[in-house]
Amino acid sequence: MQWYEEVFVLAALLIGIVLGATGLQHDRHWRAKREHYNNEVRSDKSISGGNEISTGEFDIRISKDGSRFYDDVKLFEFSNLKPGDSREFNFYIKNSGDISVSTLMLSFNVEDLENGKPTAAESLVDNTTDIGELSKNIVITKLSVTKEGQTYTLDQYIGKLLKEINGTSISLLKESLTPGEQLKVTIGFKLKEDAGNECQTDTARITLKHLRRAVSF
């Protein structure tokens, strides 16, 4: 009889544990549902969508007269020069983009050519019939920049031969060129008075290149 009582007590204890665990699970279930409901009622959120990072347009253009600007345009052509002749031309550079430009460099790329068959006089003194000598006889007489009515001269290049500044990067800006701003560049040169017959029928093909950099922050 005592054995049965012990078994009954043990069985009752096990049942109590099972019921207790079931009740605990049931209580946890309702508590979780209540907390979820409270979170839904109390929750709030702010959304910021469609955010973007983009770059501005970097666009420098040139013009012969300041009216219409292009990416590529022929600025000058002078022919039939005689020793002592001088020429001068202007061109304009505009910041057509939306980023300020802090550095603007001008580079002369010069190619000396023999323009056709050498004349009889040239043949007597010219030993390089496939390469011209004109850039060695052209002197820079003027190089200036005008921006917002203020003109400054790049004196360090005045008096130099075109050949000497070939490939040289020349800084044009003293301050940034902001979007929409433009400047005028004036270049003058002279064919040396003592230029000899070796320059006859020669051509100097000049490409002006511009290197620009945006403002650094």
Pairing status of strand 169-171 against strand 202-214: unpaired
What is the pLDDT confidence band of residue 1, given thresholds at 50, 70 and 90? Answer: very low
Rounded to an integer, the average pLDDT of 55-63 is 79
Residue at token pair 């056709």: 116
For the chain, the domains span 1-35, 60-214
Rounded to an integer, the average pLDDT of 45-64 is 71
75-130 pLDDT, tens digit each: 888 888 899 999 999 999 999 988 899 989 999 898 888 765 555 444 544 455 55
31-43 pLDDT, tens digit each: 655 655 555 545 5
Quick one: pLDDT at residue 39? Answer: 54
pTM: 0.68
Tell me the CA end-to-end span of the chain in Å, nearest whole number: 95
- Of the two residues 181 and 128, the one the predictor is more confident about is 181
126: tokens are: 């010219």
What is the pLDDT confidence band of residue 51, given thresholds at 50, 70 and 90? Answer: low
CATH architecture of the domain 60-214 equals: Sandwich (2.60)
